[in-house]
């Protein structure tokens, strides 16, 4: 599978915290694979919790293949640092639909699913926010372009949810469904909700609580919004560079500790060999003395 392909459902998961959840049209979803024994996974959990609070219009789901007791005990130790949906994939069905399907072998690994239920991005969760900002910006830009072309707000958002692909694909889909009265009769984002694509560049701030507030008025994707996106992307790039430097420093520290361990290991075995040699030599010298004392009258 590749980016743009349909995302696998989450129906087979066993929910541990903040569940059940499912993929929803009109709503971005992050599916992240992790394990309690994985240090980078543990380091990513507070970061994902912060993203879940920052973007309440996005569903965040952490998936582990460990047993219930292990995960529950770990989550209890994390407390509020792990505050998003957590589930178990005991059947490995979701793992197969994401990790194996996209040939991903390492964890943590995050998948960003778009409002059209296609996989938009795959990567390390520490690099997730930059992709969220980019995908929300592009999606809301498509809504604004469709509205500027004369499509109604509801039709534009239906196209975002139901027609995977670029602007041309969505225009073609709208042309094919031009006689479909349901596009105007049904709201793709039920109110009140923070799930709807659109509005305020899709940042999903807690103050926005209705579908109406999450819609982009026609012509709103102007220079101010574009400049806001550029500034946000630059900030995220700086944060990403800082995290990369921290990661490199940690990697160097681990390599140095590993090198020290490698130097210590031969010394350990050498000391053990010398110890046993001393025992053998001592036994050879002590044995005649013991035998002599045994023959003494």
Contacts of 16 (CB under 8 A, 6+ apart): 68, 71, 72, 75, 86, 87, 88
Per-residue model confidence (pLDDT) at position 47: 95
Residue 1, token pair as written in the block: 């599978």
Q: How far is CA 95 from the centre of its chain?
A: 14
The pTM score is 0.64
How many Cα atoms are found within 13 Å in the side-chain-facing hemisphere of 106?
6
For residue 18, report the phi and psi dihedrals to the nearest 5 degrees.
55, 35
DSSP of 90-138: TT-HHHIIIIITTT--SSSEEEEE-TTSBEEEEE-GGGHHHHHHHHHHH
Which domains are seen in the chain, by residue range?
Answer: 14-125 (3.40.30.10), 133-231 (no CATH)
Q: Which segments within the chain are labelled E, that is strand?
A: 14-17, 29-33, 59-64, 85-88, 109-113, 119-123
Q: How far is CA 269 from the centre of its chain?
A: 43
Q: Which residue has the tokens 């830009």?
A: 141
What are the pLDDT tens digits along the chain (297 aa)? 788 899 999 999 999 999 899 998 888 999 999 999 999 999 999 999 999 999 988 999 999 999 999 999 999 999 999 999 999 999 999 999 999 999 999 999 999 999 889 999 999 999 999 888 888 888 888 888 887 777 777 787 778 877 777 777 778 877 777 767 666 666 666 433 344 554 333 333 333 333 333 333 333 334 454 455 456 556 666 776 777 777 777 777 777 777 766 666 677 778 888 888 888 887 777 777 766 766 655
Per-residue model confidence (pLDDT) at position 230: 55
């Amino acid at each position: 599978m590749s980016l743009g392909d349909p995302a696998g459902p989450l129906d087979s998961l066993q929910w541990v915290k903040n569940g059940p959840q499912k993929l929803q049209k009109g709503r971005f979803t992050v599916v992240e694979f992790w394990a309690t024994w994985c240090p980078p996974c543990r380091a990513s959990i507070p970061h994902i919790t912060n993203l879940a609070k920052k973007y309440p219009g996005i569903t965040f789901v952490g998936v582990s293949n460990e047993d219930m007791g292990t995960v529950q005990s770990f989550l209890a130790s994390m407390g509020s640092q792990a505050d998003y949906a957590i589930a178990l994939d005991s059947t490995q069905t979701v793992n197969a639909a994401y990790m194996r399907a996209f040939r991903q072998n390492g964890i943590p690994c995050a998948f960003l699913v778009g409002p059209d239920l296609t996989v938009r991005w795959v990567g390390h969760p520490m690099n997730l926010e930059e992709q969220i900002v980019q995908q929300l910006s592009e999606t809301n830009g498509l809504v604004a372009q469709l509205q500027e072309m004369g499509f109604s707000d509801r039709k534009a958002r239906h196209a975002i949810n139901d027609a995977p692909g670029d602007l041309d694909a969505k225009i073609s889909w709208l042309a094919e469904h031009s006689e479909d009265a349901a596009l105007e009769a049904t709201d793709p984002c039920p109110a009140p909700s923070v799930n709807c694509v659109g509005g305020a560049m899709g940042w999903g701030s807690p103050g926005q609580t209705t579908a109406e507030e999450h819609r982009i008025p026609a012509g709103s994707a102007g220079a101010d919004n574009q400049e806001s996106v550029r500034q946000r992307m630059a900030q995220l790039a700086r944060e990403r560079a800082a995290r990369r430097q921290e990661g490199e420093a940690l990697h160097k520290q681990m390599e140095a500790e590993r090198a020290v361990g490698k130097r210590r290991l031969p010394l350990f075995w050498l000391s053990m060999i010398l110890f046993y040699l001393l025992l053998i030599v001592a036994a050879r010298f002590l044995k005649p003395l013991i035998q002599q004392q045994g023959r003494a009258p």
